[in-house]
Chains A and B, each alone.
Chain A
């Protein structure tokens, strides 16, 4: 199916930077994400020619132009559908989908939903800046209520959706969250997403310095990060705060998560919820935690692999072929069923 593949020599970030001038606004969070990904690529055990970046429309969707890999900048919202076709045609390809909150959750919500629930082996990275940047600043489906924008001069009134909650709700089997400028944290999350067989979804908080500047300051600010980030680690208790003195506990009566302080009211480490990536229920509760009442989870919320869609499609085909025998013959197909001969 493929041209001969080469085992990559040790490539560097430079090998993954295309010759195209990057055209994001100065200070855009996308720059940091691009660099992190370009740096990560040589570390992945994938021949460069097998890497494909596919995007829709929006600021984030310019991403493929800057990667020295195969890339396809498609149409608004449709990247997961196009990527699905790529993966069906050639499951060997390592396909990354770059999308944004408007692209992926508004116009393309349907495709995102189905790519996730089908579990096609794609890495879907959603750069969430809670705004439409490329069309000059309209509010998006993730904008907080009251967001003032050219289309909502008096503030938006509709309730936003939470990308990780959405992903879990539609059946995603790998859901994670990261922050644009946190390369150290993002890199292992992306590695895990890449490793994951099936669709992986990573929400990346991304600052738009022009139309929505500072909306993630509460969590990006290093000084306050200990109190606003809940760093997830599988098998570890959900602790946060300067001295890890705060924790997340499940209130057995309300079945809600709550913030507790270790040592207060008889709270001990045993009371703190332990992160379990394989628990969908816990992942959904974590995905709903939102500032300012809660720290927001960063890391892998949920990871529960299953066979990917394209694997099953090809397996089914192999099964059929083992019965029919190869090669398939058009003449035999045309002559199948009832035929008759006119002398």
Chain B
């Protein structure tokens, strides 16, 4: 938004703006994600705080020019605390009419729109649903239009490298990136070295891409841009000193699992089945075999969960991962892990549902499934990561809880966290407290049913240990001996102890803290999962306006932190925004008998800051 203000305000060659939202949009084959990632990297290196939101279609290569094939990448960067990908778009890069028509609604009036006029052919216009050409009919008068024959420019720029027309045109994204890097004063160095590395075996492709990047940049420098747009400067953000990197939630989660394995002193067997948007976890772990991890692409979701349970039985930590529909299939196996009291980590990267739903979009609608979605009394710990970087710590927590309490643990992530990248102050792993697992080795009075009196965790005796041969299984077991038992009193006792064990975990997790604001007052906004960024900013802005509102963000979804009920009771009102129809709000209402209010959104898109702000105001104004 600030870009727009500055465009009208100043004629100086240095427009200073505090924050900008750019969205790159094009065909799914136009390389928009790559463009966005490169811009992100340059922005991080520049020193802005940032957040990104890749938004791509489920179709891998939709027909060229189709609206359902538009792939977009949004980045919000600025000189202040940035925790969401931004509400409104200041600068829209639209590589074709379909990208323009599907994204224009998010561009602020007066915003900058950069288009490749070569792509605005009659055929593409019709396919996108335009009656006329928006570049010519005045319908974009409310915006700052920068219409450039990008394709022609690119083809010219890469001519010396002898590429076919098809490959030459593919350099369009780099040309556009070069222009945007000029506009926002980013360095091209990281992109250039990245291109050289990526195309090491095809130097002519690398040369062509670099030439396109430089040509786009040079175009900005020399061309008289019709709208008088000039370089914008976004001052460096005031972020805590330290070493930083960008991470997606998916990578951070994978690293967290590896870290958790080391802290527990356990090898990990990660068994999974491909599903969007969870597969990247399998990819990352498969590419890190130098760690004590074995990855297994199973034949289906059930087999993946089963292999993980088998691995845990054998003395590794079994981890399985999926998205909602796949977690449904794993349900019976998770219950087996509950019954046999084996550690297991289940990662659910949630997506829009039900059924296939919106596989590439984000949602938080699997909370009920995580809490209740199994047969019988199979309560288990559920935790949720709040940010991409937080995925690292929560993955470690999942490993800690699973191994300490001999239980399956569900770790909730979602499509937004998995794909969105944010700067991460890289932690020092030596600061993390190890939680080594001790396997049973003593034959003295051994039974597989023996429990730790404090945690109620069952003993873990792994095959290969002499003298501890024993059988476990899904049939109810005797409380003392672990042998099969159908006794009525015993089943009551076993059900009770399984529940008590999980409930008792509340004593071993951190107390709930207040993220922002006072620990009592008129209103508290309670969030969980990836709504963190939007709630944080919404509450921050509301507080800046002098409103009495606090932010509490829950990471331990079950059992809930022991002090949560008391904390929430100190507020007049509780508001719970969720990307579902109201799942956590029901938990809070039934658990604490609190009249918690709901704010729900299931459009496949994250909350906007202003939606949170608006809801805060409504709650505070309501009598």
Which residues of A are interface residues toward B (Cβ below 8 A)? Answer: 1-6, 18, 20, 47-52, 54, 57, 64-65, 67-75, 78, 81-90, 92-93, 110-111, 113-114, 313-314, 316-317, 320-321, 324-326, 328, 330-331, 333-335, 337-343
Contact = CB atoms under 8 A, between A and B. Distances in A.
A47 B549 CA distance: 65
B82 to A, nearest CB: 14
B357 to A, nearest CB: 24
Contact of A342 (B41, B47, B311): B47
Contacts of B241: 341-343
B296 A85 contact: yes
14 contacts: A64-B473, A70-B463, A71-B472, A72-B471, A81-B302, A86-B310, A88-B310, A89-B318, A111-B302, A313-B296, A314-B294, A320-B290, A334-B427, A338-B44
B542 to A, nearest CB: 28
B466 A90 contact: no
Given A89-B310, A328-B288, 11 more contacts: A65-B471, A65-B484, A72-B472, A73-B471, A84-B306, A89-B311, A90-B315, A90-B464, A330-B258, A335-B426, A338-B245
B332 interface: yes
B294 A3 contact: no
B255 A86 contact: no
B315 to A, nearest CB: 6
A133 B467 CA distance: 34
B469 A90 contact: no
B262 A330 contact: yes
Contact of B429 (A87, A320, A330): A330
Interface string B278-306: 00000000001111101010111011001
B314 interface: yes
B262 A85 contact: no
Contacts of B315: 89-90
A4 B468 CA distance: 13
A316 B289 contact: yes
Contact of A93 (B245, B258, B314): B314
A92 B307 contact: no
Interface in B526-577: none
Given A82-B306, A84-B310, A331-B430, A317 B41 contact: no
Interface of B: 41, 44-45, 47, 190, 239-246, 255, 258-259, 262, 267, 269, 271, 288-292, 294, 296, 298-300, 302-303, 306-316, 318, 332-333, 336, 340, 426-430, 439, 441, 462-475, 483-484
Contacts of A2: 464-465
Contacts of A64: 471, 473
Nearest to B441: A3
B459 to A, nearest CB: 14
Contacts of A73: 471-475
A124 to B, nearest CB: 14
Contacts of B299: 81, 110-111, 113-114
A70 B469 contact: yes
Most buried by B among A3, A20, A81, A321: A81
Most buried by B among A20, A54, A83, A342: A342
Contact of A317 (B289, B302, B307, B471): B289
A337 B245 contact: yes
Contact of B463 (A67, A84, A93): A93
Contacts of B428: 331
Contacts of A6: 466
A85 B313 CA distance: 9
B464 A72 contact: no
A75 B244 CA distance: 46
Nearest to B467: A49
A50 B484 CA distance: 23
A90 B471 contact: no
Contact of A82 (B44, B239, B291, B307): B307
Nearest to A324: B290
B144 to A, nearest CB: 32
Given A330-B259, A342-B244, A85 B271 contact: yes
Contacts of A88: 269, 271, 294, 296, 307, 310-311, 316
Given A75-B332, A82-B309, A334-B429, A339 B441 contact: no
A339 B463 contact: no
Nearest to A47: B466
A74 B473 contact: yes
B38 to A, nearest CB: 11
B463 A86 contact: yes
A87 B291 CA distance: 19
A20 B294 CA distance: 35
Most buried by B among A20, A48, A71, A325: A71
Given A78-B306, A335-B243, A342-B47, A321 B289 contact: yes
Contact of A81 (B245, B288, B290, B310): B310
Contact of B469 (A68, A74, A340, A342): A68
A339 B245 contact: yes
A39 B458 CA distance: 32
Contacts of B292: 328
What 4 A-B pairs have minimum CB-CB distances, sorted nearest first? A85-B310, A73-B473, A85-B307, A81-B306
B314 A85 contact: yes
Contacts of B258: 328, 330, 333
Contacts of A65: 471, 473, 484
A86 B340 CA distance: 15
Contacts of A324: 290
A81 B303 contact: yes
A107 B267 CA distance: 31
A269 to B, nearest CB: 45
Given A5-B464, A75-B333, A78-B302, A89 B294 contact: yes
A331 B259 CA distance: 9
A37 to B, nearest CB: 15
Contact of B296 (A52, A84, A113): A84
A5 B471 contact: no
A52 B312 CA distance: 14
Contacts of B318: 85, 89
Contact of B243 (A92, A114, A339): A339
B471 A84 contact: no
Contacts of A54: 310
B41 A338 contact: yes
Given A84-B310, A93-B314, A320 B473 contact: no
B471 A114 contact: no
A3 B442 CA distance: 11
A81 B336 CA distance: 13
Contacts of B44: 338, 340
A90 B302 contact: no
Nearest to A69: B469
A103 to B, nearest CB: 13
A288 B151 CA distance: 64
A90 B474 contact: no
A337 B483 CA distance: 52
Nearest to A65: B471
A114 B292 CA distance: 25
A182 to B, nearest CB: 27
Given A74-B306, A110-B303, A90 B316 contact: yes
A80 to B, nearest CB: 8
Nearest to A50: B464
A150 B581 CA distance: 44
Nearest to B310: A85
A342 B259 contact: no
Contact of A74 (B240, B244, B474): B474
A57 B336 CA distance: 12
A169 B47 CA distance: 60
A82 B294 contact: no
Contacts of A87: 310, 314
A334 B258 CA distance: 11
Nearest to A20: B483
A86 B318 CA distance: 10
Contacts of A69: 469
Contacts of B291: 328, 333
